Structure 1
Amino acid sequence: MPIEDFAYYLKERSGGRIAEIGVGFNFKVALKLKELGLDVFVVDWNKKAIVKARELGLEAYVDDVFKPNLRIYRGIKAIYAIRPTPEIIKPILTLSKKLGVPLYILPFSLDEMPRELRLENYKGLAIYKNE
């Protein structure tokens, strides 16, 4: 169950532009999505992470999920996050609701998720979703 399997899961469910929130320095899934032909971009508050993402050929933006710049997300079809820190989970969910798009979260194994997210097992990956 490599983390890249999450990219295949997302490809099966999203038909269009997709955003990863809180990418940090873990670019595996975004790069795999790009390789699979999806229109993906990544977002983080850390400018160094965004510089690195761009060096790797990813479209990347600095943004604060607590006060998101909604223009960045115009036209997206889904949001995903990989192992987000607990304090940004609810703001990510709020963002997906504002935009009216599905949310997919691959959490740390012990993180508590909001009740409105449903758990799905995909090839051994525990994925929480709000579709």
Structure 2
Amino acid sequence: MTNSSFYKELALFIFQNFRNAKKIIELGVGFSPQTAIKLRQLLPRIEIIVVDKNPEALKGLDSYGLKAVQDDLFNPKLEIYRSTDLLYSIHPPLELIEPMKNLAERVKALLLIKPLSEDAYFYGFYKWKQVKLSPCTLYLWRNE
């Protein structure tokens, strides 16, 4: 699966499973906003926000109808995330996974992560629900 098709497939998965959401946020969008852009097309009535610490990564994303917000996940501004149904992240750095999980718990949102393979091994997602997406495995944290 190419990167391009993965981003589209992930967007379709989110569309199929979270189409009734009011707000979806991609954490650590970096310079790969393809999933959020596709979600904007698939879910025109839902608020789609992309968050990154690097302001350069956020430049121009508003032209796709995305709300681009600079934030630090080690000290998040909770008002950005309130009333969020789904937080998701693609290949986040290992050190950000726990802050993302803590944020999801604080705002009572679901968290979907596609880690790098070695990060999945090191982090230990054994308490997370596994979601198979073609050859990839995603991990879903549900605040129970």
TM norm structure 1: 0.91
CA contact (8 A) 1:53 1:59 kept: yes
Partner of 2:42: 36
Query: Once superposed, which parts of structure 1, at least 4 consecutive aligned residues long, lie more than 3 Å away?
Result: none
Larger RCO of the pair (alpha carbons < 8 Å, separation 6+): 1
CA contact (8 A) 2:40 2:65 kept: no
CA distance in 2, matches of 1:31, 1:72: 19
Match of 1:119 among 124, 130, 141: 130
Partner of 1:90: 98
Structure number with bigger Rg:
2
Give 5+ residue unaligned stretches, structure 2.
Answer: none
The one-character-per-residue Cα deviations of 1:26-82 (angstroms, maximum 9, x if unpaired) are 010000000102431100000111123234442110000011000011221110000
Partner of 1:13: 17
Residue 8 of structure 1 and its aligned partner are, at CA, apart by 1.1
Match of 2:86 among 78, 95, 98: 78
CA distance in 1, matches of 2:55, 2:38: 22
User: SS of the counterpart of 1:76?
Assistant: coil
CA contact (8 A) 1:6 1:125 kept: no
CA distance in 2, matches of 1:90, 1:30: 22
Residue 115 of structure 1 and its aligned partner are, at CA, apart by 3.1
Give 5+ residue unaligned stretches, structure 1.
Answer: none
What does residue range 98-117 of structure 1 map to in structure 2 within 5 Å?
A: 98-112=106-120, 113=123, 114-117=125-128
CA distance in 1, matches of 2:126, 2:106: 18
CA contact (8 A) 1:83 1:106 kept: yes
CA distance in 2, matches of 1:104, 1:119: 10
More helix by share: 2
CA distance in 1, matches of 2:119, 2:60: 27
CA distance in 2, matches of 1:121, 1:7: 14
Match of 1:128 among 136, 139, 143: 139
Superposed CA RMSD: 1.5
Residue 125 of structure 1 and its aligned partner are, at CA, apart by 2.4
The one-character-per-residue Cα deviations of 1:105-127 (angstroms, maximum 9, x if unpaired) are 11112213443222221222211
Partner of 2:71: 63
User: SS of the counterpart of 2:112?
Assistant: strand
